[in-house]
Amino acid sequence: MRCDPDARVSDMAKRRPSKNTRMRRSRRTRPGLAAKPQAAEERTPNARVLGSQSLATIPTTGPLIGRDKPVQVRTAILGAGIAGMSAALHLRQDYAIFEQAERIGGLCCTENFGGFLFDRSIHILYTRQPYAKKFITGVLGSNFSLRPKYSYIFSHGAYTAYPYQSNTFGLPHDVVVRNLMGLIEATYTKPQREPRNFKEWAYATFGAGITEEFFLPFNYKVWAIDQEEMSYDWIADRVLTPPIRTAIEGAIAPSKGEYGPNAKFWYPKKGGMESLPRAMGSHLNDGSVHTFTRVKTIHVARHILEFEDGSTCRYDSLISTAPISRLAQLADEVPAEVQAAVGKLKWNTVYTVNIGLEIPNLTPMHWAYYPDPKLIFHRLSWPKNFAASMAPPNCSSVAAEISVSQWKDVGPTDAKTLLRRTIDGLIRIGLITRKQAGRIKPAHCGVVRLEPAYVIYTWDHRAATKAIHDWLESHDIYACGRFGDFEYLNMDHSILSGRRAAEKLLKRDLSAFPLKGVDEAALERWIAADFQVGVAHTDAAIDAKLKAQGA
């Protein structure tokens, strides 16, 4: 199996199986019954490039789910990711889920490249929401562990703890001084006017040093758009603004521990993050999930879904996790003002380059950020440090994320080029040697394309999404999830977004726990005892390893 497929390989990601293939697979699954999705470790992708604009994956040898679609249903749900399934679980009855891919999971699918498991981009579980904690732990049962986070930033040849603005110990002396002086000036200087964009906000909040050393170069790599084009009203709860004392302490000594809502996080012990949607799927009504059902047209006024195979389904209400930009394209009647609102939405594309390495104990870090514009990736993560089951014994793995957009061109994005440039970057930062790179096996590598990936916030974003949602809801269509809401949602937010969509549809509160056969009281005691978010202090052995690597 090669890591350098030609153009025909990526086209296969969008191709449905032949009629004969579908017939053979249908015989393995009783019509109308939801087959158990395959575990990530049981699937063998037949190409190295997975994904399309719609996240549809290449067909595998496993059974398909619920081929027989209903012709009428009270609530139709588009998308079997965690938001769509959350909506279904909270509705409880008379729903059908239509998923265009070959399996449930959406963004939370986990791919297998020669025995190395990789999520579709980095996923971790953490939340401050008591209901979301109870839901996630109730779904996963015992298949997860709680871990302290080890995240770093690589700058000037050194790893410093995250976040950058309060952890500059180890950087060159002149960089540390400039960062601190800029932060002090920004803290005690009253701005003459409100910032007009993300770039001005960063300068006003952190000063020139931190902004130019980290915020501008890194965020350009992540969002793939100039920061003058972005708003900043969405970022207040996501970026720590440190007190001067904290910044000074972080400049003269190493960090004493990780802080913030994800200082500790949960991750499945087995199966990667796809374990979460697979576990959610086990609570769905029998026969309610229908895969390989691609919508061609939504007949808005008549409440009819028309699929690409010519079949139709009439619905009373529709819940959709599809990108609202795509949803508006599928609708047969869209007012000009809604089309104009769709035209104002912005997003980017992310490629994840996944590499399995026959190298033990590569690093104890979970992930690290790379603001250097000479490196093609903006973040690396090491899946085996999330769970030992993510890679074979005595092996390691690394996943690199690369953002592109119409405003940021990184050059050719074929799998061969992205893999080569990523490996060159790993050598450049000293993570692997050239000799170790030469031993990388093509069967252990894979590239996944996510589009859309990140929602890009502009000052038009709020008004545009409101206009689209208002029009959709006037026609009994309720959008939810990261791309239905068109918001930067974490996994817990997506679960709650699905519940909110169900509440809007039914016009009542749905906070009652929806999982059958789960001891709710036991979950609450468990969460209270073991899952408090706070400070995660480093383990001595891991700390020693990180210091040896310059962190």
- Which range, 4-13, 162-171, 369-378, has the best average confidence (pLDDT)? 369-378
Q: Which range has the worst mean pLDDT, 220-224, 264-268, 297-301, 374-378? A: 264-268
113 falls within a domain: no
- Chain segment 418-440, per-residue pLDDT in tens: 999 999 999 999 999 999 999 99
Report how many domains make up the chain: 1
Alpha helix ranges (H) inside 321-414: 324-330, 336-343
Residue-averaged pLDDT of the chain? 84
pLDDT at 387 over 50: yes
pLDDT at 210 over 90: yes
430 falls within a domain: no
Q: Which range has the worst mean pLDDT, 43-47, 73-77, 547-551? A: 43-47
pLDDT at 545 over 60: no
What end-to-end distance do the CA atoms of the chain give, in Å? Answer: 36
**Residues ≥6 apart with Cβ < 8 Å to 34:** 65, 66, 281, 284, 286, 287, 288, 289
pLDDT at 186 over 60: yes
Distances (CA, A) of 239 to 201, 243, 340, 389, 535: 12, 13, 31, 32, 17
pLDDT band at residue 218 using 50, 70 and 90 as cut-offs: very high
Distance CA 13, CA 114 (A): 19
79 falls within a domain: no
CATH of the domain at 207: 1.10.3110
Distance CA 48, CA 414 (A): 11
pLDDT at 417 over 70: yes
What is the pLDDT averaged over residues 166-195?
Answer: 93
Distances (CA, A) of 73 to 32, 76, 141, 500: 14, 6, 31, 20
pLDDT at 357 over 80: yes
Omega prior to 452 cis, within 30 of 0: yes
Distance CA 551, CA 546 (A): 5
248 falls within a domain: yes
Distance CA 385, CA 90 (A): 33
Strands of 367-369's sheet, edge to edge? 49-50, 445-450, 349-357, 396-404, 379-381, 367-369, 151-155, 158-161
CA 502 to chain centre: 22
Distance CA 268, CA 117 (A): 12
**What number of H helices and E strands is found in the chain?**
18, 21
Distance CA 164, CA 369 (A): 10
233 falls within a domain: yes
Query: What pLDDT is attached to residue 110?
Result: 95
336 falls within a domain: no
- Chain segment 6-38, per-residue pLDDT in tens: 332 233 233 333 333 333 333 333 223 233 334
**220 phi, psi to nearest 5 deg:** -65, -40
More confident residue, 533 or 413: 413
Distances (CA, A) of 333 to 303, 307, 327, 337: 12, 17, 11, 12
**What's the DSSP call for residue 348?**
-
How is residue 204 written in tokens? 């006003």
- Chain segment 228-255, per-residue pLDDT in tens: 999 998 886 667 778 899 899 999 998 7
pLDDT at 86 over 70: yes
187 falls within a domain: yes
| Enclosing domain of residue 242 | 168-255
Amino acid (one-letter) located at 445: C
- Chain segment 299-336, per-residue pLDDT in tens: 999 999 999 989 999 999 999 999 998 887 899 999 99
pLDDT at 50 over 70: no
| CA dihedral of 141, 132, 55, 442, whole degrees rounded to 10 | -50
For the chain, percent of residues with pLDDT exceeding 90: 68
Nearest to 135 by CA among 183, 76, 82: 82
pLDDT at 543 over 60: no
Q: Would you call 65 exposed, middle or buried from its count of C-beta atoms within 10 A (0-12, 13-18, 19+)?
A: buried
Cα angle, residue 357 at apex, residues 351 and 360 outer, rounded to 5°? 135
Query: What pLDDT is attached to residue 284?
Result: 94
The answer to whether 434 and 427 are in contact (CB under 8 A) is yes
How is residue 420 written in tokens? 């080569």
pLDDT band at residue 528 using 50, 70 and 90 as cut-offs: low
243 falls within a domain: yes
pLDDT at 57 over 80: no
